[in-house]
Amino acid sequence: MKVAFIGVGHWHAAEFYLPALLKREVEIVAISDSEQEAVDRIEGEFELGCPGYTDYRTLLDEVDADIVWASAPHDEMSALAAELVNRGQAFHMEKPMGLDGNVLEPIAARAEQKGVFTSVALVSRYYGVVQRLREMREAGELGTPMHYYYRLLAGAPERYIDSHCAWMLDPARSGGGPLFNFGPHIIDLFIYLVDDVAEVTARWNYGLRNALIEDHTTLMMVGRETGAIGVGEISYTVPVGYERYFSVTTDRLHTGGDVGIGDLLMRDDGTEHVEGMNGLEVYDHYVGDTLDAFATGRAPIATIHDMVPVLHVMNAAADSASEGCSVEL
């Protein structure tokens, strides 16, 4: 399978995607990034031996690829997605696929109309307990959701400067701090497991660094049909590494713990232990699963269509936090 990689300067490229692609039976036929330094650095680090471009449109004009692995600064993602969709080019893209759900929505509609294969890295869907809860929801066994909670706290954002992605600290380019970085995982799992979102209330705090991007965001989501409450906490407040906690409560079960480590579903009829991959494994698995989905014609774990409602909620959360009020969707 021939893979072209657009946006190799994105930190996910060197940390997750290129190592995972190169261990599989694919050929990297071209790479690009708007910064020549990134093209040269990635070529040297991975010894790819393929053409490098600073204009992805030229790459797409000159190189035949089966699927494109696409990343970009957040403010450039929707335009890149639109270009790929208009060309009918199958692609993966890193989240959040843009800054505005109203911009992304018609691009998703065109992708559906043209039958373009799209995949987006909403990788929290791979955790074992998440997959088990989704199975139960689809089988009508989940019960009535009451409460959802997902905490994802991460280390200092200065690491993005070290990863040559200083744009992550510029809200005009990134959209914000942890809300636009990790927020998609928090919001997506509420929609995936619990309900669509009818109302959002969010607050953020800048007190740790007093920077242009927030240090911490808390958001509360209300389910449209169930009235279930979903609470998400996302931050750059942990000294190093990540802190995760995930829980779901329905009238039939409760689960809570460090998602991906091994979780318990506690029910009236007994306790079920659910195994699953941890946070270091999901991106490698995502790459293999996406390639297999494309090769076999099945649906990937998530598509551009799944990102649209998530981005709408992110926009509502940003409006809520800025204005100090709740926002209805």
Give tens-digit pLDDT for 299-310: 999 999 999 999
% the chain with pLDDT above 90: 89
Closest CA to 317 of 179, 173, 148, 190: 179
* From 53-57, 69-73, 118-122, 236-240, the region with the lowest mean pLDDT: 236-240
Strand partners, 197: 223
Closest CA to 118 of 154, 75, 70: 70
CATH placement of domain 2-120:
3.40.50.720
Q: Is residue 273 scored above 90 in pLDDT?
A: no
Q: Is residue 277 scored above 90 in pLDDT?
A: no
Task: Give the contacts of 196 (CB within 8 A, at least 6 positions apart).
Answer: 223, 224, 225, 309
| pLDDT tier for residue 108 given thresholds of 50, 70 and 90 | very high
What is the arithmetic mean of pLDDT over 97-117?
98
Residue 168: per-residue pLDDT: 97
Residue 272: per-residue pLDDT: 82
Give tens-digit pLDDT for 171-180: 999 999 999 9
Q: Is residue 114 scored above 80 in pLDDT?
A: yes
Question: Do the domains 2-120 and 123-278+302-328 sit in the same CATH topology, yes or no?
Answer: no
Q: Please state, in angstroms and rounded to a whole number, the distance separating the CA atoms of residues 263 and 268.
A: 17
Q: Is 82 helix (H, G, I), strand (E, B) or coil?
A: helix
Residue 260: per-residue pLDDT: 65
123-278+302-328 falls under which CATH superfamily? Dihydrodipicolinate Reductase; domain 2 (3.30.360.10)
Q: Is residue 266 scored above 80 in pLDDT?
A: no
Give tens-digit pLDDT for 119-154: 999 999 999 889 999 999 999 999 999 999 999 999
Give the burial class of 203: count Cβ atoms within 10 A of its Cβ; 0-12 exposed, 13-18 middle, 19 or more buried: middle
Q: How many CB atoms lie within 10 A of CB 312?
A: 19
| pLDDT tier for residue 90 given thresholds of 50, 70 and 90 | very high
Q: Is residue 169 scored above 90 in pLDDT?
A: yes
Closest CA to 187 of 125, 94, 137: 125
Q: Please state, in angstroms and rounded to a whole number, the distance separating the CA atoms of residues 95 and 34.
A: 19
Through-space distance between the first and last CA atoms of the chain, rounded to whole angstroms: 41
Contact 63/51 with Cβ under 8 angstroms? yes
Q: Is residue 261 scored above 80 in pLDDT?
A: no
The domain ranges of the chain are: 2-120, 123-278+302-328
